[in-house]
Amino acid sequence: MTQLSKNQSFESINVGDELPPFEIGETQETMDVPSEHSRIPQVRGMKPHEERKNLHNDVDFAKKSLFGTTANAGVMTMAYVNQMIEACFPAESFYNGGTLTYKGINPFRAGDEVIFTGEVVGKRSEKGKNFVDFAIEGIDKTGRLVGVAEVTIVPDA
């Protein structure tokens, strides 16, 4: 199928079209302070750079967790999926009807490199709005499924 490019119109998009692959490596630095490395907002009431120890940023604590090491927060991976979509569609395509749902399958750890791929699985018009649905998956370099996402955008918003 066709690989999507920047700002395509609803009419030019077809079921089976693919998003450009998005590859990203995770680092402990990114997991320690996600608000500095993405558009994830600072938690209300926290001072900038204030640390909260958890399985994302405390190696000793994380060793005792089910992952055995630090792992990024799912919201961080959602931000990566959002970056992937924004390579082709403006942020406004999420507003006024767009959605993004992410399901973590395996931990995304510091040192992991994940490639997100996605394709159009549906398109429809409802009440004067056009919607495009995507299925996205993230697979690390060892072939392990990290997570899946379902995304709906309004491309002409």
Helix segments in 22-110, DSSP class H: 28-32, 34-37, 59-63, 74-86
pLDDT single digits (tens) 14-59? 999 999 999 998 877 777 765 554 444 454 555 554 556 766 667 7
Domains of the chain by start residue, with CATH:
10-44+72-153 (3.10.129.10)
Is residue 153 very low, low, confident or very high in pLDDT (cuts 50, 70, 90)? very high
End-to-end CA distance of the chain: 25
Put simply, whether the predicted model's pTM sits higher than 0.85 gets the answer: no
pLDDT single digits (tens) 74-125? 778 888 999 999 999 998 998 888 999 999 888 888 888 999 999 999 999 9
3-state secondary structure of 145: strand
